[in-house]
Structure formats: C-alpha cells, structure tokens
Chain A
C-alpha cells in the first residue's frame, strides 16, 4: 500500500508532511501554491498520514496503480 494526495482536495496544511515517519511527503515540486505530494519510493504505506489528514478524501491509499493513473 502507498499513500497518494488528491490535489483538488488537499488544503495544503502540511500536517501529513510533519507526521510522516519516513519523510515521504514533500512540498509539491515547484508548486507556487505549496501543496504536498507523496514520493512513492519513500512511502512505506503505514497510513499514519490518513489518520491525521483533516481534508476528507485528500489522502488515499492504493495497491499498485496511483489513482492519478486511473481513467476518468
């Protein structure tokens, strides 16, 4: 399992970044809005970020294919 951030629901609070024990969550690369993203290579799938995320639906877990890769 890996975590993934739905950018349209993320409120950019950064709480996930602070509590991630693996430093897998970072400010989104070169994003002027300072939202966050999960680096899959560093995510161990512990799910701690989901427990603390205050924005419903912003953090989700996936097995193999990130939700962004799913057809609309």
Chain B
C-alpha cells in the first residue's frame, strides 16, 4: 500500500498536478513521471518543514545569512545565466519555429531567476550584512553549490535536447515551490518572507511551464525519450554526500 503524501504535497497535487488541460499521450506520460517524482517531492517537503521549524527556533542572524547566500548561489547571476543560456541554446535556429513558445518561456525565466537572486541579495543588504552586492562575488558560498543534479541540467548535462528542460521545470521547480510553501507556513522573519513572497508564485509558474511542455509536446516515444532521460538524471542520487570542497568530510581511510 503506498504511503500517504505529505499534506502540502497532496494539496499541490490536487490543485496543480492532477487537473489537466490536455488529454492524451503527453498527460499520460506526465502522470507516469509524477509517480517517480512523488517520493522525492514528499521527502524534500518534509525536510523543508523540519529545517524551517529548526530555523524558527534559532536565535541570531546566522541562519538568515546562510539561507540568503545559498539562495544566491542557486539563483544569482552565475547560475541564472548558465542554466538558462544552456537551455535556450539547446534549440537550434532551424528549430526555433517549432519551439518558439518554449523559448519564450525560457527567455522570461532568465529574468525570473535574476529576480530571485536580487531578493537573496536584498536580504543581505537590508539586514546590513553586506554593503554592496559586489561583495558576494568574493564569497564562495554565494557562487557555488553541491547539488550536482541541479547543476547537471544546466551546464554539464550530456544530452541537451529542446525538450529536456521539461523535466527540470516539472521536477525541480515543484520542489522549489513546495519548499517555499513549507517555509512560509513556519517562518515569521520578515526579511526571509520578503525573499520568498514573489518567488513562490514564480516557482509555481515554472512548474506549470513544465506541465505544459509535457502535456503538449511529449506525445510520441521519440519526444518522451530525451525527457525521460532527463528525469533519470535528476532522480538519480548523484550527490548523496556533501562535497569536501563545500565542507563535507573526507572519506575515512582516504589518507588525506
């Protein structure tokens, strides 16, 4: 018997995942992929709730700074440009007419990601922890992250295809939306809420773009194959431990 979904995930499923604008092979494929995503969505949501409850009980500002720096690393100029430029360039000039609606969504998403970077910088500026955004260029915590699966679909993904982005939009943006929703239910800090308020709806929008891409474009086995490969990549636990470069521990017996 399947485990019940986290209440926030169930709410998300009922409101945004299960209602369909299209019927047919694309929607069927999407619901099959949804079943694969669910364990991760449930786990990520439960962890987001736990982390938010812990942060809410934490005195001082260190956790806010840490959240903002990590958010900037995820969506600051570095990652936004790399991530979205790669996806825009996955469509050749000859294919532009075929995917023009998807290209327009991706071009707009560059700006959305930039806005999220702005908001994380704004937490640090308004909190007085930095004087200028330029200071973040000198801080590795604001420019690097350990999530290889996330980074993989941006600059390192080996199988770039015009439709591969659908998997990232659907799987990763749902996690972002669920995580922010969980945090907003718990965290009262006005600066952190400031950072999340507009981002929450934009993450939902990016998820819905993934939903549209799957429903409308993943119609044949040939169309579905590159998308499913991207799901395979994202769902594979590439990085189960924190890299040593980002503060993880050396493996025992490594001799270092």
Contacts and interface: CB of A to CB of B under 8 A. Distances in A.
Contact of A23 (B125, B190, B200, B201): B125
Interface residues of A, number: 11
Contact of A26 (B122, B131, B193, B200): B122
B50 interface: no
Contacts of B193: 30
A26 B190 contact: no
Interface stretch (A31-39, A46-54, A56-64): A31-39
A45 interface: no
Given A23-B125, A23-B133, A29 B118 contact: no
B198 A14 contact: no
Interface residues of B, number: 16
Nearest to B112: A34
B115 A27 contact: yes
B118 A23 contact: no
Contacts of B194: 27, 29-30
B132 interface: yes
Interface in B211-244: none
Contacts of A23: 125, 131-133
Contacts of A26: 122, 125-126
A33 B119 CA distance: 12
Interface of A: 14, 17, 23, 26-27, 29-34
